[in-house]
Structure 1
């Protein structure tokens, strides 16, 4: 089960965080500050990949397959690349929508890029 997803820049600043299980606010700050240097962190296994100036970090339980989560991270980045032509940090609401389409309650529910982007495509058409 996926516990959380973080996007962290090279300076260690959290740019996006989504928690799928309750984590106390005080514990979140410590977790987000320390997480990039570890593969196993307390009661989480961390799967992370670096893309340009961002690290995408996924905390998982011991029972989760690390390789499948690693591929999920890559798929997530491909979806972001497909939707955004430039900087995503100004469109974090859209990133959250993409993430929510892919992961719900800590479980992967969709990986097909077109299906993940369907709600955003519909929103964009309504805005035109």
Structure 2
């Protein structure tokens, strides 16, 4: 199960966080700081899968952006690694490049891909269909 997804810049600032498992709001900043510090301090040659407390971290770097996913021990790391890449490709297809504006739309994309901590959709066209429909409605007004 996916516990959370973070998008973080190279300075370690969280740009987007999405939690699928309850984490007290007061404990999130410390968790995010610890997770980000652990991933950003790793060398590029090192594996993108990290054991962390009672779960695993899967992360990928895209230019100055890191995407970190916390998963349960039973989740397949490679499928999550590919999910992250697919997520970035969907963002690229919709925005033209991965940008950190319109976070509401990024959340919509995530909600189409992941529900209750489980991957529900990977097809880019189906993921983007609701957003494109919203865009068409907005243009009509």
Alignment of 1:7-18 (within 5 A): 7-18=7-18
- Residues 7 and 17, structure 2, Cα contact 8 Å, conserved in 1: yes
Q: CA RMSD in A?
A: 1.1
The equivalent residue for 2:52 is 41
**Counterpart position of 1:23:** 23
Question: How far off its partner does 1:43 sit?
Answer: 1.5
User: Computing the radius of gyration over CA atoms, which structure comes out larger, 1 or 2?
Assistant: 2
CA distance in 1 between counterparts of 2:98 and 2:117 reads 26
- Extract unaligned runs of 5+ from structure 2: 40-49
Evaluate the alpha carbon distance shift between residue 86 and residue 67 of structure 1 in structure 2; reply closer, same or farther with a 3 A threshold: closer
Asked whether the 8 Å contact 2:92–2:98 carries over to 1, the reply is no
CA distance in 2, matches of 1:19, 1:89: 18
Aligned length: 128
Question: 3-state SS of the aligned residue for 2:126?
Answer: helix
Question: What are the superposed Cα offsets for residues 25-81 of structure 1, whole Å, 9 maximum, x if unpaired?
Answer: 222111111113151221120000001111000000000000000000000000000
What residue number does 2:77 align with?
Answer: 66
Q: In the TM superposition, what is the alpha-carbon distance from 1:7 to its structure 2 partner?
A: 0.2
Of the structure 1 ranges 30-39 and 106-115, higher mean CA displacement relative to structure 2 is found in: 30-39
Q: Does the 8 A contact of 1:88 with 1:95 survive in 2? A: no
- Could you list the runs of 5+ residues in structure 1 that have no partner in the other structure? none
Q: TM-score, normalised by structure 1?
A: 0.96
3-state SS of 1:24 partner: coil
Runs of 4+ in 1 over 3 A off after TM superposition: none
Corresponding residue of 1:79: 90
1:98 is aligned, of 105, 109, 122, to 109
1:70–1:87 CA distance, 2 compared to 1 (3 A)? closer
